[in-house]
Amino acid sequence: MDKVRFAIVGCGRIAYRHIEAIQANPAAELAALCDLKLERARERGRGTAAKFYRDYREMLAREKVDVVCLMTPSGMHVEHAEDIIRRFGKHMVVEKPMALRVEDGERLIGTAQARGVRLFIVHQNRFNKAVQKIRAAVDEGRFGKLVLGTIRIRWSRGQSYYDRDPWRGTWALDGGALTNQAIHHIDLLRWLMGDVEGVSAVAATRLAKVEVEDTATAWLRFKNGALGAIEATTATRPLDKDLEASVSMLGENGTVIAEGASVNRLVLWTFGGEDLAAFSEAPPNVYGFGHNHIIDNVVEVLTKGGEPLVTPADALESVKLLNAIYRSIELGGREVLLKDEPRSARLGVLDEKSRKVADLYRTEVVLGRAKA
């Protein structure tokens, strides 16, 4: 293999970070971009040598591509990924969340394994310097007995954000603040604190006119005996001002806190002997720099072997926790146990209205007419 050739399907807000990460790796090359809005693909790919398409099937039939980075609506991830794997056998980089429904995620993993395709799931905040430092302390046993882990997400998404595309703010294709924004931090909390035994949660829709929640809180019991707390909202005001995304961990031997707009600054480290500035970053936005690690890992795995930094099985555990949180919300805040495999009754479930929206994002209708 010469350079690893990437294609992007879905050119929304996060696509530019994938493009930057691909361009930063000398062994990677951006071959093509695809979006239902062709001008959006052209805008994202301006200054590159990439080709532009509206139909990803046409793109993959025409272009030499090794890896597809998938950034379509959350509720379409599995359908699109499975279609690409089955028809073209391409390796996949799938943005968070890998699936909305646990069974869909399990099926995607099985499809990839059956075709010998590698799946790379994007949970880029794991690779922030501050988070990596905390994870190293966990692995070294520096905390001793864990006591409490907390995540806090205070971001702002106005009505125009939800009105931009018909899938946003829907149960079937998006989910709310927990799914679209806080899933990064829910994943971090589980990754740092360990497996969850039970969860109780409540949610509200306070400012946005959407089906889903814009505000939620939850408490967790971990299998190791520690407790956890989640606070997540996209209703922070003033509008378009993301205030905080933080994680704190308390153990019998010390406490650490990472803050910033994207868990990017280590602000408290009671173990001593460290320059906190060395483990802090200043990204221009909440997306951080972690996509570079994901793309670099893709190139390394495909050219030299090894495993994804975020394995599909591990990413699926965060989807299971997300579903447990929603199930508790649906039951009025009653605690649910992860061993019972709780599933949300609404998240990722298509009804007649959402099926029509989903059809807008299916290849068969991208040109406004059904294909044979």
Shared domain check, 301 and 219: no
Residue 2 has pLDDT above 60, yes or no: yes
pLDDT tops 70 at residue 372 = no
Task: Return the CATH number at 70.
Answer: 3.40.50.720
Q: What is the mean pLDDT of the chain?
A: 94
Contacts of 63 (CB under 8 A, 6+ apart): 5, 7, 31, 32, 51
Query: Is 334 inside a domain boundary?
Result: yes
Residue 363 pLDDT class (50, 70, 90 cuts): low
Contact 208, 237 (CB under 8 A): no
Calculated CA dihedral for residues 50, 56, 61, 62, nearest 10 degrees: -30
Read off the pLDDT of residues 197-237 as tens digits, 9 standing for 90 and up.
999 999 999 999 999 999 999 999 999 999 999 999 999 99
Question: Mapping DSSP to helix (H, G, I), strand (E, B) and coil, where does residue 154 land?
Answer: strand
Helices (H), the chain: 15-24, 38-44, 56-62, 77-88, 102-115, 129-139, 159-163, 183-193, 290-304, 312-330, 352-359
Q: Has residue 11 been placed in a domain?
A: yes
**325 and 274 inside one domain:** yes
Supply the CATH number for residue 262's domain: 3.30.360.10
pLDDT of residue 224: 98
| pLDDT tens-digit map of 5-23 | 999 999 998 999 999 999 9
Q: In this structure, is residue 350 part of a structural domain?
A: no
Examine the domain organization and report whether 143 and 191 are in the same domain. Answer: yes
Residues 219 and 237 reside in one and the same domain: yes
Backbone angles phi, psi at 34, to 5 degrees: -135, 135
Residue 365, in any domain of the structure: no
The reported pLDDT for the residue numbered 366 is 41
Structure tokens at 28: 């990677």
For the sheet containing 254-259, what is the strand order? Answer: 265-269, 254-259, 244-251, 146-154, 227-233, 215-222, 196-204, 336-337
The per-residue pLDDT for 283 is 81
Query: Is 281 found in the same domain as 157?
Result: yes
Residues 322 and 194 in one domain: yes
Same domain membership, residue 187 and residue 38: no
One domain for residues 130 and 169:
yes
Q: What is the number of other CB atoms lying within 10 angstroms of the CB of residue 310?
A: 26
**105 falls within a domain:** yes
Q: Are residues 283 and 297 in the same domain?
A: no
Specify whether the CB–CB gap between 271 and 137 falls below 8 A: yes
pLDDT of residue 287: 81
Strands (E), 174-214: 196-204
User: Considering the domain boundaries, does residue 60 fall inside one?
Assistant: yes
SS3 122: coil
Same domain? For 114 and 37 the reply is yes
b/e string for 33-44 if b means 16 or more Cβ within 10 A?
A: bbbbeeebbeeb
Per residue in 104-159, pLDDT (tens digit) is: 999 999 999 999 999 999 999 999 999 999 999 999 999 999 999 999 999 999 99
Number of domains the chain contains: 2
Tell me if residue 257 falls in helix, strand or coil: strand
Among residues 300, 104, 334, which one has the least CA distance to residue 219? 334
Report residue 240's pLDDT band, with 50, 70 and 90 as the boundaries: confident
Segment 92-103, tens digit of pLDDT: 999 999 999 999
Of 192-196, 222-226, 308-312, 359-363, minimum mean pLDDT range: 359-363
Same domain, 226 and 94: no
Nearest to 318 by CA among 125, 82, 70: 125
Q: Which domain holds residue 296?
A: 4-124+292-309
- Between 370 and 62, the more confident residue is 62
pLDDT confidence of 371, banded at 50, 70, 90?
Answer: very low
Residue 88: its pLDDT value, please?
Answer: 97
Shared domain check, 113 and 36? yes
User: Is residue 327 in some structural domain?
Assistant: yes
| Structural domain contains residue 303 | yes
Token pair recorded at residue 208: 């946005």
- First and final CA of the chain: distance in angstroms? 35
Torsion of CA 139, 144, 146, 147, to 10 degrees: -150
